[in-house]
A and B are shown apart, each in its own frame.
Chain A
Amino acid sequence: MRAPSWVRVMLVHLVLLVVTVAALYPVLWVLKMALTPGQSFAVDPWPIPQTVTFENFAHVINTETSEGGWLFGRQLFNSLVISLSTAAVGLALSTSAAYALSRFKFVGKEAGMGAFLITQMFPGVVMLIPLYLLLDTMNLLDNLLGLVFVYATTSVPFSVWTLKGYFDTLPRELEEAAMMDGASRWQTFTQVVLPLATPALAVTGLFSFMTAWNEFILATTLVSKPEQFTLPIVLQRYVNDYNAEWGHFAAGAILVSLPVVALFFALQRYFVEGLTAGSVKG
């Protein structure tokens, strides 16, 4: 297709710039609050800080436990362990299910796919307390494992949906070739299908990771030991009804967001491919 005139090129770039600035504006604002000394809310609409200090970051990072331990490190570690485990467990649960839904023809398959999506419609509000009681019965309260299981299952429907869509686009002949080569269903799945599904696995893994990384309501309810707290719980404490430490909150928000943003950029190239397949095929 022909390139349009330079006027149009410039105009489109200008519009793109405006939209991008609008999209980044709140992010820049958080950055400004984090870098500006003090705990007040930024009022100046100009999103570039006048004075730059890292004391808010230092405060958040250096917060100590009552025993003098490194609280931030501990909670960062918890968040990482929980989120990575959630991604792993979530993928383990959803890949095989998505593959079965994509390839097999068993009784109740349609209903099964429907059921996974229907759970997306459950309003979370009423599930909090029953979930607490259930985990208590299973002895998984105050247990990071319990949190991982809850997050992982929460992420399953979307993962199954995305992965199934992606599996649908993979040519069946490859699997048939593997079967002719003597591979079992499971070998075919692990050695041929999964390596080919890397984009979708990366995307669903990232979303499972995010489910756990950003969540605080369940985390607050299901865990009561500070040594098991995750980062969002800590962040929550900076802004409450009585006082708002905006500087600390902003610094914390950036620290919490940073790993996810980094993962987003790292896995970006998989996004377009990994997500769309799911959506195209449904």
Chain B
Amino acid sequence: MATVTLDNLHKAYGETVVLDGVNVEVASGEYIVLVGPSGCGKSTLLRCIAGLETITAGELCIGGKRANERAPRDRGVAMVFQSYALYPHMTVRDNMAFALKVAKVSKKERYAQVDEAAALLELTPLLDRLPGQLSGGQRQRVAMGRAIVRRPDVFLFDEPLSNLDPALRGHMRVELKRMHRRLGATIVHVTHDQVEALTLADRIVVLDKGQVQQVGSPRDLFERPANVFVATFIGAPAMNLLPVIGEGETCRLEGLEQALPVSGTGAFTLGLRPSDMFLADSGIPGVVDVIESLGSEAMVHVTVGAHDVVVRAEEPVQVNSGDVVHLKLSTVHRFDGTTGRRLE
């Protein structure tokens, strides 16, 4: 197992800057999830660690040693690709054994290692099949198995679950967590799915526009988002953001006569998670617009002033579309109106 350190990493294609000074330290045995919208540079970052992309500036250390110039095979990393990238002309066994074959491990030895990994991933009955004869979930496991067989210091996962159907994805998340515990490996996992990030990560790195927005535990990110971007990206449904003007103990929302019971001064952005509000008999008035039922709970869209606010409510919900309701707030987040940074 090894640490991975990214020190002021830059990556540019000509004039286009993809990574703009990324600093991350991954501890040995840590499960790190890189999350961000598409085009944020997370896959490029992963490929830089893998050695599939050259690093424009900055330093990458794996296991404490500079790795910028090392060839992929000399970095002690294994990668699982989004498309799995299984060799279509090789059986599952040969796919998994390929790395050992090019490392000139004896045939007996490499098949023994493959058998071991296959048993772990319940792939044993599939060993003689070709990738084309496997289901999506099976391919995903073969791709994992191929990475495991190499016994790398660091695993790199590039959206490994995105090609699976939702049910299987949930199952594989649990599998990944279990695997991480068993192997105790350092894992860098890239995803755009914040649920995946929240459930799997020891720590999450939120990336946007090539820059790290926040690094922290899932709890940290959820409870103390560093900026508006993280606040809206983490948590579902997304945090409600309302532009308000503070008047000391209260603040004002455009289109609403009644002041909000939130202290503050000047213009700032008020962040309200749907779960941090509840419907009450009195409080901030609004009109129910739409109700989305999710079974045990519902998301109630309430028009407050000129804004749409989503509130979580326990089912059965007693209100109907068009009713006038009142909201009470529990936790609030404040962000700078111009920079978007969190205000304490």
Binding site for B on A (CB under 8 A): 171, 173-174, 176-184, 187, 191-192, 195-196
- Would you list 27 pairs from A and B whose C-beta atoms are within 8 A, ordered by A residue? A171-B83, A171-B85, A173-B81, A174-B88, A176-B50, A176-B52, A177-B79, A177-B85, A177-B86, A178-B87, A178-B98, A178-B102, A179-B51, A179-B52, A179-B72, A180-B50, A180-B73, A181-B99, A181-B102, A182-B99, A182-B150, A183-B73, A183-B99, A184-B73, A184-B102, A191-B98, A195-B89
B103 contacts which chain A residues (CB < 8 A)? 182
Query: CB of B77 within 8 A of chain A?
Result: yes
Residues of B within 8 A of A196 (CB): 88-89
- Alpha-carbon separation in the docked complex, A177 to B88 (Å): 12
Minimum CB–CB distance for B188 against chain A, Å: 13
Interface residues on B, range: 20 to 34
- C-alpha gap A21/B65 in the complex (Å): 72
Asked whether A177 lies within 8 Å of B102 as measured between CB atoms, the reply is: no
Name the B residues within 8 Å of A179 (CB-CB).
Answer: 51-52, 71-73
B78 within 8 A of A: yes
Q: Is the CB of B87 within 8 A of A176?
A: no
B252-276 interface (Cβ within 8 A of A): none
Chain A residues whose CB sits within 8 angstroms of the CB of B72 once the complex forms: 179-180, 182
Question: Per a CB cutoff under 8 Å, which of A176, A183, A184, A187 touches B85?
Answer: A176
A181 to B99, CA, bound (A): 4
* Given known contacts A182-B99, A195-B89, A196-B89, A173 and B150 CB-to-CB distance under 8 angstroms: no
- Which residues 42-89 of B have a CB within 8 angstroms of A? 50-52, 71-73, 77-79, 81-83, 85-89
Could you tell me if A181 and B81 are in contact, using CB atoms closer than 8 angstroms? Answer: no
Q: Does B146 contact A (CB under 8 A)?
A: yes
Determine whether the beta carbon of A182 is less than 8 Å from that of B73.
yes
Assess the A181–B88 pair: CB atoms within 8 A: no
- Please determine whether A181 and B146 come into contact, CB atoms closer than 8 angstroms: yes
Is B79 a contact partner of A180 (Cβ separation < 8 A)? yes
Chain B contacts for A182, CB-based, 8 A: 72-73, 99, 102-103, 150
Known: A181-B98, A182-B102. A174 touches B87 (CB 8 A): yes
Contact B98 A173 (CB under 8 A): no
